[in-house]
Amino acid sequence: HARCAQQHIPRIGLSIPAIPERTAGLLSGGPSPYRYLERYLHMLEDAGAECIVIPCNTAHYWFDDLQNVAKARMISILDATLGDIPPSARHVGLLATNATLATGLYQKKALARGLTLIQPEEAGQALVMQAIYTLKRGDKTAAQALLLPQIDSLIARGAQAIIMGCTEIPLIVAGHERAIACPMIDSTASLVRAAIRWYEAWPDTAPL
């Protein structure tokens, strides 16, 4: 933990809400966000970024392509999250967007680690998506009413830990963690911890 202002990590951020919707781009024939992601990646590099993270799980469909054109180090939210799964948990629930599930982003990497992923059933996944969009509209209470039963369902089906594999899901769950009967893995928090570890190991940690 930083003890003074000078010990905080220097960071450069871009928040671009106008990037085309990732799920629509993958599943519904919407515009691909890739060229926007690549443009803003290079903008971060031009601003001096030496390590880049993308706090969107679905956008990691394009991670390898972006990594191929990046000069900066990139850290995968998928690897960071799976690395935070407790060793005792071999059956892991996954809450994510339709596109993240359909493209198998977590499934491929989880299999390589010997993990079995448990996804919501079709009706439950529709409610997960509804919860995500409900939070985006600003109604957290309604989003919780939609999402929390899906967490209970995953646990009933054998989940020993659950990945919150979408930025909105930890925001929906916030305040209810103690009532949930298994560890909840916040993918955004996992990515942040991985970025901090990279910075702490970087040979030049002087201010920009």
**In a shared domain, residues 35 and 92:** no
DSSP type of residue 71: S
**In a shared domain, residues 173 and 89:** yes
pTM value?
Answer: 0.90
Span 70-120, pLDDT tens digits = 999 999 999 999 999 999 999 999 999 999 999 999 999 999 999 999 999
In a domain, 197, yes or no: yes
Q: Rounded to 5 degrees, what are φ and ψ at 61?
A: -60, -30
Token pair, residue 149, equals 């039963």
**In a shared domain, residues 145 and 103:** yes
| Sequence-separated (6 or more) residues with CB below 8 Å from residue 81 | 106, 163, 165, 185, 187, 190, 191
How much is the pLDDT for 204?
65
**In a shared domain, residues 48 and 101:** no
State the pLDDT confidence band at 207, using cuts at 50, 70 and 90: very low
Total domain count, the chain: 2
Residue 197's domain spans which residues?
A: 5-76+191-201
Distance, CA of 17 to CA of 111 (rounded, Å): 33
How much is the pLDDT for 178?
86
State the pLDDT confidence band at 25, using cuts at 50, 70 and 90: confident
Instruction: Tell me which residue of 178, 205, 187, 204 sits closest to 84, measured CA to CA.
Output: 187
In a domain, 117, yes or no: yes
In a domain, 207, yes or no: no
The residue type found at 127 is L
In the block, tokens 């996954």 appear at 94
**In a shared domain, residues 90 and 163:** yes
Instruction: Tell me which residue of 53, 20, 72 sits closest to 192, measured CA to CA.
Output: 53
